[in-house]
Amino acid sequence: MKTPGIAGFLAIALMCIGGEGRAQDFTFVADDTVLTGPLGSEIVFNCTITNTSALTITLAIVRTGNDLPAEWSSSMCLDVCYPPVTDSILTSPAFGSSPLSPGESRPFSMHVYTATNPGTGTVRVESWDTRNPSERRLLTFAASATPNGVEVTGGKPAAYALSECFPNPFNPSTTLRCLLPGESRVTLRVYNLNGEEVTTLARDRRESGSFDVRWEGRDFRGVPVPSGIYFCRMDARPLEGNGHFSSVRKLLLLK
């Protein structure tokens, strides 16, 4: 589906204006506007659009800024997901969507696809009711990609973390990275969808820093496991002080 550019789209929006202008009666709220992920990952900013008025409204949503590192890209999703080249959409059937009824909330997401080069990029989105395009909502999303998806300060992780596995989906193997802010006892286990332990990838004492763990898609006996969804759970306890860290990542093995 060919979509209009920003200039053409603005003309369409202006044609939709009818009658008196009125106050803009919707909210456009993001769960997060700053996120960090590992290289090669898809960073997703989830938002909620709510019609707070007593009228059915048609919204325009335009990506007005796409300042990303080389080879990165971004795209929008609202009812359907659009290709990275689409800069502007309407909540209308022409865009696979529909106007928002009074009181209706609908999810919107901005997807930033990172590449193999680390960096930080920003994407800006403006939205408005087509009856009143002079009043707008603006959101700016900042996405960063690092080799492990977690910020490290002074050469030492600032907090415990278990990165997303890469690649994912995978076949035959995938790698996860564990970050430890201090010397810790670490356990890394893989479970199937029934909650049964498939194998243990790590169970020992580790120095502060990071270490990678590879899973070859095999169980305790070294037998290849079938395709499906698995979960890797990391548990860590510092050798000094109190506390317990636990994190779970979903793995998809496709053969």
Least confident of 70-74, 142-146, 221-225: 142-146
Give yes or no for residue 116 having a pLDDT over 50: yes
> Which of the following CATH numbers is that of domain 152-253: 2.60.40.10, 3.40.50.150, 3.40.50.300, 2.40.30.30?
2.60.40.10
CATH 2.40.110.10 fits 25-146, yes or no: no
Determine the Cα angle at 189 with ends 185 and 195, to 5°.
Answer: 135
pLDDT band at residue 14 using 50, 70 and 90 as cut-offs:
very low
- In whole angstroms, give the CA distance from residue 183 to residue 170: 31
User: Of all helices (H) and strands (E), which one includes residue 65?
Assistant: strand 59-67
pLDDT at 21: 42
Q: How many CB atoms lie within 10 A of CB 250?
A: 11
| Structure-token pair, residue 81 | 């997901």
Least confident of 27-31, 129-133, 211-215, 239-243: 239-243
The answer for residues whose C-beta is within 8 angstroms of residue 16's C-beta and 6 or more apart is 58, 130, 131
Give yes or no for residue 17 having a pLDDT over 80: no
Gyration radius (Cα) of the chain, Å: 23
Residues in the chain: 255
The mean pLDDT value for 137-146 works out to: 88
Q: How many CB atoms lie within 10 A of CB 43?
A: 23
Q: Say if CB 91 and CB 107 are below 8 A apart.
A: no
Give yes or no for residue 10 having a pLDDT over 60: no
Q: Say if CB 136 and CB 128 are below 8 A apart.
A: yes
Specify the domain boundaries for CATH 2.60.40.10 within the chain: 25-146, 152-253
Condensed to tens digits (0 to 9), the pLDDT of residues 174-193 reads 888 888 888 999 999 999 98
The mean pLDDT value for 162-171 works out to: 83
Q: For 218, which DSSP code?
A: B
Give yes or no for residue 173 having a pLDDT over 50: yes
